[in-house]
Each structure stands twice: as C-alpha cells, then as structure tokens.
C-alpha cells in the first residue's frame, strides 16, 4: 500500500514536471507583450517611459533567456514564490490566497451536492426502473448534461434574481463575514456548477446499479429474505459505487472548468474569473500559476480516488 | 413420512420479445420430511426456474401464472413476492444455494457479514451471538481457522470453499428445506464429491430436506431418495432412485442413463449421447416436446399431446404413451 | 477448452486462406440495430433535429430573413415583432438570422474538430496499445499530462494562445479532445489484440500495419462511432463556452455563445437575446446526446456506463 502510494506520487511528480514545462512554454507563445499591454494603459496616463519599461522588464526577469526564466519560476515555486503579476502588480501567491478560498468554497459545495444528488437520482431511477420516477430522473439527467452552465446562470439570474427578486443577482460574500448573505449568493452559482456533474453521475449510477442488480450475489441476497431496502443499501450500493469513484476525477474537472464560466456570469472574484481576466491581460505569470495549481489539485484528487478504490473494492491489490 | 412441500400444477412463463416462453409448464412435485430428491434435466429445461418459483425469486419478464406451493399448511403463492410472510420463508424456512460459487457471494462484504446478516434477520440474534454462531457454522462445513476467516472477503476463498460458505449460509437458520441449484457443476470432480457428502451430512444433522437440481443423473444417484426427470418445462418421469435406474420408462430417462458411466454394468458398454438439441421453448407446440429426438417415437407422438403422468406402481410415474 | 480454441483458430485460418472476411452476419445485426435504434422516441427526436440542423446550415442564406452581419442602428434592440421574429441586438441585427447562421458555426466547429481529434487520437491510441512498451509510455504520459487539465480550461488557454477565431477554436478544441480518444482507443486495442484471430493473423505473417488497420480498427469502430457522437455535443457546448467568454468566435461571426454574452448585458430589457441562443444550444446538444445514447444501445449495449 505504502509502496503503491509512493509510486503514484513519483509518477504524479513526473506529470507535474511535464505540466510546468507545457504551461510555461505554451504561455510564451501568447501573442503580444504583457508589459506593452500594461504600459499601453499607463502610457495613456502619461507617466511611463521606454526606460521605465526596460526597468520593469528587468524587474520581472523577462530580459533573461527563456530557459533561465523557466528555472527561476521552478525555483520560485519550491520557495513558495509564484512570481509577481504584471497586471495586478501584486505577488501571485497573495492573489491566490485572496481568490482561491472563494473558488474552493463554491467548488467543494458543488462537488459534494452534485455527487450526492447524482447518486440519489441514479438510485431512484434504477430501483424504480420504467416508472415515472425513472422517466423524470433520466429526463432531468439528460437535460443536465445538455444545458450550457453559463446560460443556466443567465436564466437563473433573470428569473430568480431580476424578476422574482428571491436571490441577489451576483457577487460573493465570505461565509465568515455574513453567513446568510453568503449562502444566498452562493445558491445560483452552486446550482450551475453542480448540475453537469450531477447529471453525469446520475446517468452512470443508474446504469451501474441496473448492472449490479442482475448479479448472482444480489439474487443470493434476495434468497436470504432480506428487505429490498437492505439489499439496495448493503448489497447493491457499494458495488455500484465502484465505477462512480472513477467519475469523481472527471467531475472535478467539470466543476473547476465550470468555475471559469460561472464566476464570470455571477461576477465572483475567484480563480476562474482571475484566469479569464489574466488571459485578456496576457498576464502569463498569473495564468501559469493558476493552471499549475488546478492541475496539482486534479492529480492529487485522482490519487485519492485510486486509493479509495481499495476501500470500496476489497479485490483491489496495490501491487 | 409426511409431505413437507407439495407443489401442484406450477406454471411459470417469460414474456419475451420473441414470444411466450413456458419455462415451467404444469409441474407438480412433492418433498417429504428429511428427504433428498433430485431434479434432473438438461440445461434450459426449467428445473432452476421451478425452484426459483417456489422461492418467488422470479423477476420480470418472468411470471408465475398458475399453481400452488403448499408448505406447512399454507400456499406460498398466496403471498406477494416481497411480503413479510414470504421473506420470513426465504432463508428462514427454505434456503437456496446457487450454481456459481464465484459470483454468488457479494465481493465487497466479508464472509462473516454475509453469514450474520441472515442470523440477525431470521433468528433475531445479537451481533455477538451471530458471530459466534457463524464461526460454529464455518467449522461445521469444514473451513479451517474459521475464527480468522470470518473477516476475509470471498476472493480469498477457492470455489469449493465458497460453496461451503454458501452451504453454511443456507443452513444457518435451520431451514426445513435446502434447495441446491447445480451446486457442484462449476467445481472439479473431487470437490464435487466432498461437497455432496457435506451437504448430505449437514442436511441430516439439521433434519432438513434437500432438493438437488442437476443435469447429471450420476450426481444424484448416490444421494437422492427420489428423482424427478424434467424435459422442456415438464416433468416426464418420477420415482424412487432405484426404480429410475433399474426400470427407466421414459425414452428421455433411458437416454440420460445411457450417457453416464456405470460400474454395475457389463464391460464394453458404449456411452450414447441423446441425438439433437433441447427444443426452443418459445411458442411450443402441444405435442410431446421430446418426440423429435425420441428413438421410440410413435405416429401419435407428433400429433397428440403427451399423456399426463401415469402411475405404473412402486411410486413410479411416467408421462409417455403405453407401448 | 483447448479443443475449442484450436477449432476457432482453424476456422479463422480457413477463412483467411479462402479469402473470406471476418465480417459478422451483417443482415441480422443490421436488423437488430434498426429495431433498437429506431424504436426510441428520443432517438427519433434527435435524428429529426439533426436533419433540420443540417438543412438549416446548408440553406441558411435562403432561410434567414435578414442579413445576420449588417445591422441598422435605427432598429437597435427592437423587441420581437412580425418583421424581427426574435427582435434585434444592440447593433440592430436580426436575432433569428444570427441564430440560423449560428448553426453553421456550431456544426462546422463540431464536425471538423471531432474529425481531427478522432483521427489523431485513434492513431495515437492504436499505436500505444499495439506497440506497448516505450511507445505506449511516451504517448500515454503525454495524454495523461493533458488530462490533468479540465477540458474547458485547457481549450481556453490554447484558444487564448492561438488568438481566437473559428480556425483556432477548432485547433484548440481538437488538441484538448485528442487524449479522450487516445485513451479509449488504447484500451480497445489492448483488449482486441488478445483475440485468437489476431494471433492467427499474426501467425500467417500479416504486417503490423495490416493487423492494426484491417482488424483492430474495424472492431473498435462501434465504440468510436458512439464516442464521436457523444463528443459532438461536448464540443458544441465547449465552443459556446469559449465564445461566451469572448475567446472563441470573434465578431461579427455569428456564434450562439457570443450571442448569449452580447445579450447578457440587456438581460433585464431584452432577455430573449440571450435566452434564444441558449435554447438552440440545448436542443442541438440534446439531440446529439440522444443519438449517441441510441447508437450505444443499438451497437453495443455493454458500453452503457462506460461512455
């Protein structure tokens, strides 16, 4: 087990190294010079000269050869320094500390709700196969994988926010500042972020359960005289969840990817919004760091997913 | 000997896309107290379905359409499949062992849990008591180190061992009847013999009756008191084991006997397989289902329906025209 | 057991010697396919939408009541009326006409991207699965690296690097989609190449190329067709998302995603500007998903849950 985790960690590091290379060099392909874009705004206010620009270039280390820049970036990461944003003129680490908890708050909620409701919906559809419950749940899941989340955000904002005035239309408040306001503001984003993963999980859960229900050991369970509820929860559920665990990695990708859209729609100052803004500002220091963090999270989650397999399926041997 | 289970005119059919399949067609059989009977036929002849029907474990598109299953003074078919009464019978009074030991146990639950859940359910045992009883049961079916193996998962056991566990589970609540559906088919020959011996011993220890469902007459020869021969959803012959082996009447039974090796016969006898394949059960004709393969076929066999079971003495019944 | 294997091998050999192909009995397969595929109402709905969509894209100039690109500022933000059935946007362009032209963008991006990604992804997956060892290591490691990024974020960054526009959106989405195809194809190849007939073929001295493209690829086809159909929906959604963020199709091009973004600013007064294109996206993606589900159940029900 320990050997397995160590091996996975090593391969995770190799992939992360590839990720840093990829991110760094692809970023350098961005058309345009971030300093000029930055200057473009400053020059118009008339307080920046070409000399200052060159000073800034040196300050950010952008005058050095590209390999040196890469190594400096990597060195910085190991020292907990992600560099300085050109656009925000702030340490990227500090920016992340500000923005990251916001995205984390909404994404973890969404992932949790999406997984839970998805599993429940899938179970309901499977054990009531062919009834109106199944039709409703399957229909809902089919719409869930179809709906553009940003559009759902716009529609919700119009109906619940603008027309019915039930919820604040946008923004974000920390739950530690004003819990009630924070929750009310989070409802619509969380619906948008969770709907796709919920639908994907519900569809998989349904077919996985229908598969397990046909198994011999479930017939054995019936032959023991157990109640349907006990059979579903003790004998069917755990076995049906095994393929769902694989989907969690995918679900994280869906939720994190969705954050970029949802944070834009609802004007939430999280990492997703930061990423989009930085792309427009060509602020590659921020882009490469945000992407690196996202990739790290996904690698770690996938590792956790693989380890939790062993808990669900005792047949798995970590060799 | 008194009758324990009396099945009358049981009919189970499956409504498939291609048509109605009468998997069990007007089948009657009896099981006495502490008796072992064998139900023999080729695969697909409805022998398993008849037993699953007794337990009401038939799921859609299958449906029990007719018959009675009389057990302890009640007709079990009066109860809904999921009713409390029927659940109390399943596992508590009538237990079942299935063909595939590799897939019949839940891979994600420990052996102990799969044993104790039934004890807790039917005998209202506490967790501790159930665990103790489970250890005892595992010992009885010959699993060494029972105490420690309780927390193992099925994949730690071989096929034969798993089937022993299944026997332990089946007999854990002192059922009146144990139905073993091809319990040894998937296992090698030596393991088969050991398991059959074990089942026989265990059943007599618990004063239960045993139904052995098999396609192999040889398997039941040694253990069964009486034998029912099934073909295409019908029982075609029944009688005591001695009668069936010494004096088979139905051409199908004769055919089955010709394809098993015997020690009590002259040397040089050839094993003769039955020609042809079992019929497709979809939308069957009313004439005798075995007629196309029958070596003693008469003209009328192809036009008239097969006659009902006829008593030919010594508790021997046969569903074939008198020659 | 051994007998049956040798038997199968003999039969295969005979077939190969006599020049017979490995094709399964086509007629009954096709009949079963038709029965399962056409029996479901949702699949039929998907097919009808698909046909309408193709028709709309091809005949867009004839169907559109107005010029989708040239607006008339005098007609800015007109609510729906008999002339402008879905109203006009801020530049006075007819929403319906832009929606109709949007089908071209959606279908073009969808089909071209899936064709590129499936071709490259399948070849990579096939090679990794077939040759194994170092080839598999290199290819699959790179695929794993790409898969560390959420699909949308990867496409977003690539599109930003490339600079937007329909061509670059197609390239960005193709690259993001390749690992998905490569992975599935790799798995399929690994399982198909264990079959007896591949062994037989190899023993007859067939070249790697022949085995890969004459035997493995055709056997992976059903799964691939299903995957391609389901990915079409994903792609149309992703293109819309990129355009919504302003990194995809650039103005004045008509793309449903950017139409939602344009209309979003006038949500309170003209909600139809962003509602209509979103609905269009939904119907189209729904149609592709239903066709994909139908194909999956008809071609290979075992894929249920995998795709």
All residues of chain B having their beta carbon less than 8 Å from the beta carbon of residue A226 are 87, 91, 117-118, 121
Q: Residues of chain B with pLDDT > 90: what percent?
A: 25
Domain ranges of chain A: 2-78, 99-281
pLDDT at A37 over 70: no
Q: Residues of chain C with pLDDT > 70: what percent?
A: 88
Residue range B21-47, pLDDT digits in tens: 888 888 999 999 999 999 998 877 888
**What is the second-level CATH architecture of the domain B3-108+153-264+271-318?**
3-Layer(aba) Sandwich (3.40)
Q: Report d(CA B210, CA B200) in Å as an integer.
A: 8
Q: What is the mean pLDDT of residues B139-146?
A: 87
Q: Do C244 and A150 touch (CB under 8 A)?
A: yes
pLDDT band at A34 (very low <50, low <70, confident <90, very high): low
pLDDT at A253 over 80: yes
Q: Kindly report the length of chain A.
A: 319
At C22 the pLDDT is 34
Highest mean pLDDT, choosing among A261-275, B96-110, B203-217: A261-275
pLDDT band at C2 (very low <50, low <70, confident <90, very high): very low
- How many CB atoms lie under 10 A from the CB of residue B309? 18
Residue range C48-58, pLDDT digits in tens: 999 999 999 99
Closest CA to B179 of B169, B188, B189: B169
All residues of chain C having their beta carbon less than 8 Å from the beta carbon of residue A204 are 305
Contact in structure between B122 and B91 (CB atoms under 8 Å)? yes
A193 lies within 8 A of chain C by CB: no
At C7 the pLDDT is 41
Q: Report d(CA C282, CA C278) in Å as an integer.
A: 6
C-alpha distance from A27 to closest chain B C-alpha (Å): 47
> What is the layout of strands, in order, in the sheet containing B36-40?
B94-97, B177-181, B209-214, B36-40, B226-231, B234-240, B317-318, B310-311
Q: What is the mean pLDDT of residues A187-204?
A: 95
Select from A147, A254, A287 the Cβ nearest to the Cβ of C282.
A147
Q: Report d(CA A4, CA A98) in Å as an integer.
A: 35
- Among chain A residues, CA nearest to B121: A226
Q: Do A223 and B57 touch (CB under 8 A)?
A: yes
Helices (H), chain B: 47-54, 84-89, 101-104, 111-122, 127-140, 146-149, 159-171, 189-205, 217-221, 241-246, 251-258
At B265 the pLDDT is 63
Q: A124-146: b or e for each residue (b if 16 or more CB lie within 10 Å)?
A: bbbbeeeeeebeebbebbbbbbb
Residue range B48-99, pLDDT digits in tens: 899 999 999 888 788 888 888 998 888 988 888 888 989 999 988 999 998 8
Radius of gyration (Cα) for chain A, nearest Å?
A: 24
If interface means Cβ-Cβ distance under 8 Å, which residues of chain B face chain A? 55, 57, 82, 86-92, 95-96, 98, 100, 103-109, 117-118, 121-122, 153, 155, 166, 169
Residue range C191-216, pLDDT digits in tens: 888 888 888 888 888 888 888 888 88
pLDDT band at A83 (very low <50, low <70, confident <90, very high): confident
* Cβ within 8 Å of B, A 216-255: 216-217, 219-228, 230, 234-235, 238-239
At C285 the pLDDT is 95
Q: What is the mean pLDDT of residues C218-222?
A: 86
- Among chain C residues, CA nearest to A20: C145
At A226 the pLDDT is 92
Helix (H) or strand (E) holding B65: strand B62-71
pLDDT at C13 over 50: no
Q: Residues of chain A with pLDDT > 90: what percent?
A: 42
At B16 the pLDDT is 77
How much is the ipTM here? Answer: 0.89
* Cβ within 8 Å of B, A 278-317: 312-315
A217 phi and psi, to 5 degrees?
A: -70, -20
At C304 the pLDDT is 56
Closest CA to B233 of B35, B53, B17: B53
Query: What is the pTM (predicted TM-score) of this model?
Result: 0.84
All residues of chain B having their beta carbon less than 8 Å from the beta carbon of residue A234 are 109, 117
At A71 the pLDDT is 87
Q: Do C241 and A146 touch (CB under 8 A)?
A: no
> Quick one: tokens of A205?
């859960």
Q: What is the mean pLDDT of residues C182-194?
A: 88
**Most A CBs within 10 Å, among C150, C230, C273, to test the A interface:** C150
Q: Residues of chain B with pLDDT > 70: what percent?
A: 97
Q: Report d(CA C60, CA C58) in Å as an integer.
A: 6
Q: Do B169 and A315 touch (CB under 8 A)?
A: no
**Most A CBs within 10 Å, among B53, B107, B172, to test the A interface:** B107
Select from B87, B92, B105 the Cβ nearest to the Cβ of A220.
B105
> Quick one: tokens of C174?
């193709």
Radius of gyration (Cα) for chain B, nearest Å?
A: 20
For chain A, which chains pass the contact test of at least 3 CB pairs under 8 Å? B, C
Q: Do B104 and A312 touch (CB under 8 A)?
A: no
Q: Report d(CA A205, CA A243) in Å as an integer.
A: 8
Q: Do B91 and A216 touch (CB under 8 A)?
A: no
Helix (H) or strand (E) holding C178: helix C166-192
Q: Report d(CA B169, CA B164) in Å as an integer.
A: 9
Q: Report d(CA B87, CA A8) in Å as an integer.
A: 47
At C47 the pLDDT is 93
B180-194, C137-151, C230-244: least confidently modelled range: B180-194
**What is the second-level CATH architecture of the domain A99-281?**
Orthogonal Bundle (1.10)
Q: Name every residue whose Cβ is closer than 8 Å to that of residue C201 and which is 6 or more positions away in sequence.
A: C12, C16, C210, C211, C215
Question: What percent of the residues of chain B are helix, what percent strand, and what percent coil, each to the nearest 5?
Answer: 35, 25, 40
- Among chain A residues, CA nearest to B179: A223
Q: Do A223 and B88 touch (CB under 8 A)?
A: no
> Quick one: tokens of A100?
């990251």
Q: What is the mean pLDDT of residues B251-266?
A: 77
Helix (H) or strand (E) holding B311: strand B310-311
Q: Do A226 and B89 touch (CB under 8 A)?
A: no
> Quick one: tokens of A211?
């598969």
- How many CB atoms lie under 10 A from the CB of residue A69? 17
At C239 the pLDDT is 94
Q: Which residues on adjacent β-strands are paired with residue B13?
A: B22, B63
pLDDT at C20 over 60: no
Residue range C98-145, pLDDT digits in tens: 999 999 999 999 999 999 999 999 999 999 999 888 999 899 888 988
* Cβ within 8 Å of A, C 132-151: 141-142, 144-145, 148-151
- Among chain A residues, CA nearest to C238: A148
Residues C127, C131, C137: CA angle, nearest 5 degrees? 80
pLDDT at C24 over 80: no
All residues of chain A having their beta carbon less than 8 Å from the beta carbon of residue B104 are 216-217, 219-220
For chain C, which chains pass the contact test of at least 3 CB pairs under 8 Å? A
Closest CA to B162 of B106, B123, B116: B106
Q: Do A217 and B106 touch (CB under 8 A)?
A: yes
* Cβ within 8 Å of A, C 262-281: 264, 267-268, 271, 274-275, 277-278, 281
Helices (H), chain A: 2-27, 34-44, 50-59, 66-78, 92-127, 132-144, 149-156, 179-213, 216-223, 228-230, 237-265, 271-281, 284-312
Q: Do A315 and B91 touch (CB under 8 A)?
A: no
Q: Name every residue whose Cβ is closer than 8 Å to that of residue A152 and which is 6 or more positions away in sequence.
A: A191, A192, A195
Select from B90, B153, B155 the Cβ nearest to the Cβ of A223.
B90
Residue range A55-72, pLDDT digits in tens: 777 777 777 788 888 888
* Cβ within 8 Å of C, A 104-143: 142-143
Helix (H) or strand (E) holding B94: strand B94-97
Q: Report d(CA C184, CA C135) in Å as an integer.
A: 16
pLDDT band at B186 (very low <50, low <70, confident <90, very high): confident
Q: Report d(CA B297, CA A217) in Å as an integer.
A: 43
> What is the layout of strands, in order, in the sheet containing B62-71?
B19-32, B3-16, B62-71, B74-75
pLDDT at A48 over 70: no
At A66 the pLDDT is 80
Top-confidence residue, C10 or C132:
C132
Q: C159-176: b or e for each residue (b if 16 or more CB lie within 10 Å)?
A: bbbbebebebbbbbbbbb
> Quick one: tokens of C188?
């399929």
Q: What is the mean pLDDT of residues C157-177?
A: 89
Q: What is the mean pLDDT of residues B254-258?
A: 84
Q: Report d(CA C181, CA C294) in Å as an integer.
A: 20
At A40 the pLDDT is 60
Q: What is the mean pLDDT of residues A13-34?
A: 80
pLDDT band at C301 (very low <50, low <70, confident <90, very high): low
Contact in structure between B76 and B67 (CB atoms under 8 Å)? no
């Amino acid at each position: 087990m320990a050997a397995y985790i160590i091996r996975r960690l090593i391969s995770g590091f190799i992939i992360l190294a590839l990720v840093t290379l990829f991110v760094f060099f692809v970023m350098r392909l961005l058309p345009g010079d971030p300093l000029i874009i930055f200057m473009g705004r400053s020059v118009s206010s008339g307080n920046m000269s070409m000399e200052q620009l060159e000073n800034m270039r040196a300050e950010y280390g952008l005058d050095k050869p590209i390999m040196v820049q890469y190594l400096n970036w990597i060195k910085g990461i190991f020292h907990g320094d992600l560099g300085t944003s050109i656009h925000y003129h702030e340490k990227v680490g500090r920016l992340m500390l500000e923005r990251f908890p916001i995205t984390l708050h909404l994404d973890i909620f969404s992932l949790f709700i999406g997984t839970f409701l998805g599993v429940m919906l899938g179970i309901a559809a499977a054990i009531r196969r062919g009834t109106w419950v199944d039709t409703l749940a399957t229909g809902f899941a089919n719409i869930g994988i179809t709906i553009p989340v940003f559009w759902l955000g716009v529609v919700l904002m119009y109906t619940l926010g603008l027309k019915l005035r039930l919820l604040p239309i946008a923004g974000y408040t920390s739950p530690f500042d004003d819990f009630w306001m924070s929750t009310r503001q989070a409802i619509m984003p969380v619906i948008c972020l969770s709907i796709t993963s919920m639908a994907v999980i519900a569809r998989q859960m349904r077919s996985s359960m229908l598969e397990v229900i046909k198994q011999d050991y479930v017939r054995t369970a019936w032959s023991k005289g157990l109640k349907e509820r006990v059979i579903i929860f003790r004998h069917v559920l755990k076995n049906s969840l095994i393929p769902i665990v694989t989907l969690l990695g995918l679900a994280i990708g869906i939720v994190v990817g969705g954050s970029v859209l949802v944070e834009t729609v609802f004007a939430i100052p999280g990492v997703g919004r930061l990423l989009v803004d930085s792309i427009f500002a060509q602020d590659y220091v921020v882009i490469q760091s945000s992407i690196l963090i996202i990739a790290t999270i996904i690698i770690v989650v996938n590792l956790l997913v693989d380890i939790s397999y062993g808990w669900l399926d005792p047949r798995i041997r970590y060799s | 000997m008194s009758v324990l289970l009396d099945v009358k005119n049981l009919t189970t059919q499956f409504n498939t896309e291609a048509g109605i399949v009468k998997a069990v067609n007007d089948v009657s059989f009896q099981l006495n107290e502490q008796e072992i009977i064998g139900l023999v036929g080729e695969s697909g002849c409805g022998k398993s379905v008849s037993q699953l029907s007794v337990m009401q474990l038939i799921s859609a598109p299958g449906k029990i359409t007719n018959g009675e299953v009389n057990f302890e003074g009640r007709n079990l078919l009066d109860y809904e499949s999921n009713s409390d009464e029927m659940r109390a019978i399943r596992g508590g009074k009538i237990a079942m062992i299935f063909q595939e030991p590799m897939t019949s146990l839940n891979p994600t639950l420990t052996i102990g849990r799969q044993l104790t859940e039934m004890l807790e359910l039917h005998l209202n045992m506490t967790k501790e008591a159930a665990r103790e009883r489970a250890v005892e049961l595992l010992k009885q079916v010959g699993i060494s180190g029972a105490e420690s193996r309780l927390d193992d998962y099925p994949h730690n056991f071989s096929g034969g061992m798993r089937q022993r566990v299944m026997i332990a589970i089946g007999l854990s609540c002192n059922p009146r009847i144990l139905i073993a559906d091809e319990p040894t088919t998937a296992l090698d020959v030596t393991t088969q013999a050991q398991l059959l011996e074990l089942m026989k011993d265990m059943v007599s220890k618990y004063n239960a009756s045993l139904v052995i469902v098999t396609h192999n007459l040889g398997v039941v020869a040694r253990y069964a008191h009486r034998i029912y021969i099934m073909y295409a959803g019908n029982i075609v012959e029944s009688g005591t084991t001695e009668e069936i082996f010494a004096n088979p009447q139905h051409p199908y039974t004769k055919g089955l006997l010709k394809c098993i090796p015997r020690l009590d016969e002259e040397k040089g006898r050839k094993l003769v397989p039955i020609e042809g394949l079992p019929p497709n059960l979809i939308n069957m004709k009313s004439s005798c289902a075995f007629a196309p393969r029958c070596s003693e076929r008469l003209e009328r066999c192809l036009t008239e329906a097969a006659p009902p079971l006829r008593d030919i003495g010594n508790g021997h019944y046969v569903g074939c025209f008198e020659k | 057991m051994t007998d049956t294997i040798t038997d199968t091998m003999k039969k295969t050999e005979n077939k190969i010697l006599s020049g017979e192909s490995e094709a399964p009995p086509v007629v009954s397969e096709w009949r079963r396919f038709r029965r399962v595929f056409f029996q479901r109402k949702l699949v039929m709905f998907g097919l009808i939408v698909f046909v309408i969509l193709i028709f709309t894209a091809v005949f867009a100039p004839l169907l559109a009541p107005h010029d989708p690109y040239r607006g008339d500022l005098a007609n800015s933000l007109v609510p729906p009326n008999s002339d402008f059935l879905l109203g006009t946007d801020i530049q006075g362009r007819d929403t319906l006409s832009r929606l109709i032209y949007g089908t071209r963008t959606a279908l073009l991006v969808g089909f071209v991207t899936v064709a590129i990604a499936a071709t490259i992804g399948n070849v990579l997956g096939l090679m990794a699965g077939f040759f194994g060892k170092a080839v598999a290591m290199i290819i699959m490691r790179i695929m794993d690296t790409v898969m560390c990024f959420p699909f949308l974020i990867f496409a977003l960054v690539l599109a930003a690097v490339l600079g937007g526009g329909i061509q670059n959106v197609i390239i960005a989405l193709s690259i993001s989609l390749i690992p998905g195809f490569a992975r599935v194809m790799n798995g399929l190849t690994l399982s198909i190449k264990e079959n007896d007939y591949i062994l037989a073929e190899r023993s007859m001295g067939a070249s790697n190329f022949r085995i890969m493209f004459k035997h493995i690829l055709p056997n992976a086809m059903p799964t691939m067709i299903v995957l391609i159909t389901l990915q079409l929906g994903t792609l149309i959604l992703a293109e819309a998302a990129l355009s919504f963020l302003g990194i995809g199709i650039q103005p004045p091009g008509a793309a449903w995603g950017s139409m939602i973004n344009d209309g979003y600013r006038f949500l309170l007064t003209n909600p139809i500007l962003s509602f209509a294109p979103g609905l269009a996206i939904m119907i189209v993606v729904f149609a592709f998903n239903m066709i994909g589900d139908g194909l999956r159940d008809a071609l290979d029900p075992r894929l249920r849950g995998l795709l």
